[in-house]
A and B are shown apart, each in its own frame.
Chain A
């Protein structure tokens, strides 16, 4: 039972570089989410998807883009990395919407921007 898998687990980038974080889930969940977690703050939603081919902005979408070409995959892209994007990034999925359905999280990607 893999659940939600994120790759890579760690990455160091230089300012201005680009990269893509990968998230895959094998639970046939419709909803997928990308969060960032910073010290002393709650999880903040970056983007989310309510189904294959759909994406929507969350609380802090600037500087990020996403794609959901396949139901099981949700990709998060940083086009031009900035030090303010240093964070731990979590992908999550849920069977239904967040109103009542628990989310299943991946193990996170620790990203440092120098």
Chain B
């Protein structure tokens, strides 16, 4: 079956760096997305990876290794407003988008 695994919850300190991992087992691969979702709000797009390597966008970076079925989202210089859930989603060979359950990130002062 198709599966995406993310840690359920992580805690980090304001100003620090945190890495949120995502591993996937899907029938084929056509791209990986990261979304941010604040409690009670809509998911918002963060990044997209289709080739191996690191994509940097300000304080956020996303890495992909297709051979390992692995991605991570790296958040630097953490701010309190980064407290949210981070959703990993993979497009499989049938162009279906498979979503992980999300990682709740708690930022402490």
Contact = CB atoms under 8 A, between A and B. Distances in A.
Q: Do A and B bind each other?
A: yes
A102 to B, nearest CB: 4
Contacts, number: 50
A100 B50 contact: yes
Interface string B56-99: 00000000000000000000000000000001010100011111
Interface stretch (A63-71, A76-84, A103-111): A103-111
Nearest to A40: B101
A102 B4 contact: no
Q: What interface size band does chain A fall in?
A: 20 to 34
Contacts of A105: 42-44
Given A98-B95, A100-B31, A102-B33, A42 B87 contact: yes
A34 interface: no
A42 B42 CA distance: 13
Nearest to A110: B40
A41 interface: yes
Contacts of A106: 42
Contacts of B87: 42-43
Interface of B: 4, 30-31, 33, 40-45, 48, 50, 87, 89, 91, 95-102
5 contacts: A42-B87, A42-B89, A43-B89, A99-B31, A108-B42
